[in-house]
Structure 1
Amino acid sequence: MTDEMRGLLALWGGNVSAVHRELVARTARDPSSSPVPSLSVFHRAVVRDLSVGERAGLRGGEAARRRFDVYGKRLPTHRNACWEGDHKRIPVRVTLDGVAVCPWVTWFIDVASKVVVGVAVTPHQPARDAVLAALRAGISREDPYGPFGGLPGRVRVDRGKDFPSKAVSRALGAFAVPVDDLPACKPYRKGTIEALNGAVEEMLLVSLPGYTRRARPAQAYRPDPVGDLLPYPDFVKVLLDWVAWWNTEHRPAGLTGGRTPAQAWEADPTPVEDVPEERLAFFALEDDGRIRKISTNGVSWRRRADIADWMAGHVGTRVRLRYLPHFDGRIEVFSTEGWGRHLGSAYLAEAATPAQRRALSRVRESRARALKADLKAAEKLRRTRYTATTTAAVPGRRRTETASEAEAEIVRAQAVDLAARALPDLIPPREPPAGWARPRPRPATSSSTPKHSLGTAAPADTTDTEPGSGSKE
């Protein structure tokens, strides 16, 4: 087989007879060219020089050639050691707003236990929001996925044009989870999720109305009428029910002992690392990058106003916004001080429900009543009312206080820290131990010492004499 013959085989899609006919025609046009062997000899040469995978690739492309390759198998690991994620276009037409669409599913599966930990469905080609929603469903371990999930050790995705792997890397980077960004068009690098993609089509999708890959050899393909298709919500319910059946009842061949994924998960003693709800509440939110002010219309974002009941009374406050990619129905508002305290959520003002508008009105009215009550109490404390007088006398207070009210007011005025007011000699000291030396008592004063009356100073020249000699003036 020469390079020219291989090129002709690729041109004719692996058709050996067609290549042989072209070579014979060339020889007929140019008698000086090399003679062409018979078809059987040429066919034996193709079989000898080209492997089965190469011949399949010439007929069906890279996907057909890959079926004849040999792959290694990864060693078994524990639960949550690795997740694999992928998109899949569902070959089933469903109705949405009177239009037939083919939805997409984004899901993640645990490699060790074959448990589907998170699913997100979109009626169009998914973007970052679908990937992050499926990831959050798996990490949070919320219904309908039951106890499966937690924080994975690593995540494997491919960097195909339909999977935003950078969004996964940024979101999981906050939890220090590495992301293996595999090369595109190499599904064997994440065989667990690819097997799930094939299983859902063979076990579920082929039986649904509107399946687009149904073989109809006798007639041209004609899609099912729109009236016979499943509504989009019904299809999502059917898919989630199948995921629950996969996790709890199906027995994949890759699990030892004929166990279900749920049984394999429960039998694994590896501890599951959960993420606190306060950290997961703002998972995968992107920062707006600008400082804005709350106005009387709320917060302006993307030329539209977002409001919330907690904004009443905060006009002029400087805030920052965080939001879920490709979703503008709700934003999270944070303060600009320090790390940014979460103030609350805001919703689109034009799409606010009557209940949300009533909640905003109730907050405004309650705060107005509270302010009115505070001002009334302050006015009562500020102004003292006196009775009217008809004579030249001191007016009395309108309201006479009783003795108990006066005592209570005095107690409140004198209420201070008792420890700060404690006197050091309030409690007399205890008697010293008997072994301590006591001070000597001073001798009594001599009887000849003159006594002076109160207020009279003693003479300046008075001096003491030696003991026993008396005193002199």
Structure 2
Amino acid sequence: MAGARVDPEQRAAVVARLTALRQAGSLTTAHVRTAASGLRVGERTVWRWLGTTGPGRTGPARYELTPTDREAFAYFRGNIAALARARAAVRSGLGQVAGTPVPDFLATGWANAPAVTLRTLQRAFERQLTPAELAAWRTGEQGRRAASVYLTRPVTGRNVVWELDHKQLPILVLPPRGPAVCPWLTSVIDDGTRALVGWAIALTPHTGTVLTALRTALLVDEQRGPFGAVPAMVRVDRGLEFAAAAVKDALAALCVHVHQLPAYHAHRKGKIERIHQSMEQTLLTGLPGYTKGPRDASGRLHGPLSDAARDRAAAETTGLAPMRIERFVTHRFAPWVTWYNTQRPHSALAGRTPAQAWTDDATAVQRLDAAQLRHLLLAGVERTINKDGIRFNGLAYVAPELHGRRGQSVHVRFMPHDDRFIEVYLDGQHLCTAHPQGQLSPEQVEAFRSHARDESRRLGAARRRASARTRAELAPMTDDEPDAAESRLVPAAGARDLLGRANDDMLRRRAKTNLLGLIDPTASQKSTR
């Protein structure tokens, strides 16, 4: 009963009543016993509240912390035992504790301080300092924030506000080249429905992963659920990838407001932090290579995989290698996102899934066509068209529109974890969507060959027309005119006007024979005359 917690307001009311009885001279032990019974505490506790040890006997008052005590608490980083030793050393006149002099500002402040016990100081600090103040000097800013109280954001409709963030996943995967790494995830969640509407995974976070995650969130994909629309605002932190000009320009083109949060304020985007925690608890902890798992005495992970630098470098040559990043993305993470959005009930959504919350919400959304979102892919990667197409990430990409463009430089835009296609741009204009060779469907192969045949026929016809036009318009001058040895180009219509219809055949014959270096027989006859 002595350890029961008492409501502060109820305690204050009891103390006020008993103090009034004592001032009137009518306070008895029965009054204290009755109050203690009602509050479910001991009688000595009630007497201590009144500042006495019993009827008619005055006890010690509660110790109140001085400014020096508070400064010492900060100086000793919340160590009350060290504070008490220094305080006792100053009172005894030693001036030092544990072989170290007590700072002058503490020695001056404690010069005439009363003697108090360590337990009294501990109770005084616990009573007069808030948990946030205690944590601020013991564990730092993170502890202070953990003990703080925050406002919650107002409820919004679906797709009104998005939150974006990066997270390095604590799971080892093998990239296409190099040792095992922990990849980075870029997430986009809908504030109103808690849906993970967009994501991208890469070896390191960059502007391309942000643009890819945004593009995924903006597009409608029946396999992912009903999500996909243009938001009114996005919240981002101060990461350089989110502040990139390409990201700002892409969102500005869609008239989306960007709200940049203060640095190191994770609670300002708590919904996405909670999703990352759920992902780690329900997905990553059950996969081999989870780097936050238990370790042995040497620090090595329990299990078949190790995250030591030497073991990472040798992982590909040994039989115990982490899963490939492509397999992790397609066979582990993507199914988990579908499960989270469509099957996992959420307590903040009244037991509904994010997909159900989205469907039940009547807030209007604006959809966009995929062709309007090509500019949200990574831009600026320059490649040259080779004889087998565009070489990118170890694959050769082809498209019918690339036929006849060997040697041209183009810009490639791509999704970091999707090698099924690339977007090709020429002089800032979209040229085609290219697909890797070896993965083309029969229809795509036939389209490529048909386009090649059409181009060959078109260019052949154009060459024949040009040759015919040139032969028709190349007319040499007659011998009667000056400079008979020379020939010049004249308009075909003008030649007909000058020489008449009767000379057209002769002009054409002379033009053809002169071009071949032959002598006109009519000219030789005239010369013999």
TM-score higher than 0.5: yes
Among 406, 415, 430, the alignment partner of 1:342 is 430
Query: Normalising by the residue count of structure 1, what TM-score does the alignment of the two structures yield?
Result: 0.64
Q: Distance in 1 between matches of 2:380 and 2:181?
A: 33
Query: Which protein is richer in helix relative to its size?
Result: 2
Matched, 1:333 2:421: no
Matched, 1:247 2:327: no
Matched, 1:150 2:241: no
Matched, 1:121 2:201: yes
Query: Is the 8 Å Cα contact of residues 293 and 316 (structure 1) preserved in structure 2?
Result: yes
Q: Residues 55, 213 of structure 1: CA spacing in aligned structure 2 closer, same or farther, 3 A cutoff?
A: farther
Instruction: Tell me the equivalent position of 1:276.
Output: 369
Query: Is the 8 Å Cα contact of residues 423 and 434 (structure 2) preserved in structure 1?
Result: yes
Matched, 1:310 2:310: no
Query: Is the 8 Å Cα contact of residues 128 and 325 (structure 1) preserved in structure 2?
Result: no
Query: Is the 8 Å Cα contact of residues 251 and 260 (structure 1) preserved in structure 2?
Result: yes
Q: Distance in 2 between matches of 1:296 and 1:211?
A: 44
Matched, 1:200 2:279: yes
Counterpart residue type for residue 260 of structure 1: T
Q: Distance in 2 between matches of 1:75 and 1:233?
A: 39
Query: Normalising by the residue count of structure 2, what TM-score does the alignment of the two structures yield?
Result: 0.57
Q: Residues 228, 282 of structure 1: CA spacing in aligned structure 2 closer, same or farther, 3 A cutoff?
A: closer
Deviation readout 1:285-320 (Å, 9 max, x if unpaired): 5579x9x99999999xxxxxx997635556999x98
Aligned-pair distance for 1:137?
Answer: 0.4
List aligned pairs for 1:24-173, cutoff 5 A.
24-25=88-89, 29-30=94-95, 34=111, 37-96=116-175, 97=177, 99-122=179-202, 124-142=203-221, 144-160=223-239, 163-164=242-243, 167-173=246-252
More divergent stretch after superposition (187-196 vs 355-364): 355-364
Query: Is the 8 Å Cα contact of residues 53 and 68 (structure 1) preserved in structure 2?
Result: yes
Query: Is the 8 Å Cα contact of residues 127 and 164 (structure 1) preserved in structure 2?
Result: no
Identity %: 35
Instruction: Tell me the equivalent position of 1:262.
Output: 355
Q: Residues 285, 59 of structure 1: CA spacing in aligned structure 2 closer, same or farther, 3 A cutoff?
A: same
Q: Distance in 1 between matches of 2:138 and 2:284?
A: 27
Aligned with 1:47: secondary structure? helix
Aligned-pair distance for 1:267?
Answer: 0.9
Query: Is the 8 Å Cα contact of residues 212 and 378 (structure 2) preserved in structure 1?
Result: no
Counterpart residue type for residue 431 of structure 2: L
Aligned-pair distance for 1:181?
Answer: 0.8
Q: Residues 238, 372 of structure 1: CA spacing in aligned structure 2 closer, same or farther, 3 A cutoff?
A: closer
Q: Residues 251, 357 of structure 1: CA spacing in aligned structure 2 closer, same or farther, 3 A cutoff?
A: closer
Q: Residues 40, 354 of structure 1: CA spacing in aligned structure 2 closer, same or farther, 3 A cutoff?
A: closer
Query: Is the 8 Å Cα contact of residues 212 and 415 (structure 2) preserved in structure 1?
Result: no
Instruction: Tell me the equivalent position of 1:429.
Output: none
List aligned pairs for 1:397-412, cutoff 5 A.
none
Q: Residues 86, 368 of structure 1: CA spacing in aligned structure 2 closer, same or farther, 3 A cutoff?
A: same
Aligned-pair distance for 1:189?
Answer: 1.7
Deviation readout 1:355-408 (Å, 9 max, x if unpaired): 89999898667534444456568889999xxxxxxxxxxxxxxxxxxxxxxxxx
Bigger radius of gyration among the two: 1
Query: Is the 8 Å Cα contact of residues 225 and 355 (structure 2) preserved in structure 1?
Result: no
Q: Distance in 2 between matches of 1:30 and 1:238?
A: 64
Aligned with 1:100: secondary structure? coil
Instruction: Tell me the equivalent position of 1:221.
Output: 299
Q: Distance in 1 between matches of 2:403 and 2:321?
A: 50
Aligned with 1:281: secondary structure? helix
Aligned-pair distance for 1:126?
Answer: 0.8
Structure 1: give runs of 5+ residues left out of the alignment: 300-305, 384-473
Query: Is the 8 Å Cα contact of residues 87 and 163 (structure 1) preserved in structure 2?
Result: no
Q: Distance in 1 between matches of 2:171 and 2:232?
A: 34
Query: Is the 8 Å Cα contact of residues 219 and 228 (structure 2) preserved in structure 1?
Result: yes
* Superposition RMSD in Å: 4.5
Matched, 1:21 2:89: no
Q: Distance in 2 between matches of 1:365 and 1:110?
A: 49
Q: Distance in 1 between matches of 2:84 and 2:245?
A: 50
Q: Distance in 1 between matches of 2:163 and 2:182?
A: 23
Aligned-pair distance for 1:255?
Answer: 0.8
Counterpart residue type for residue 136 of structure 2: G
Deviation readout 1:316-336 (Å, 9 max, x if unpaired): 99x98575699999563345x
Aligned-pair distance for 1:214?
Answer: 2.9
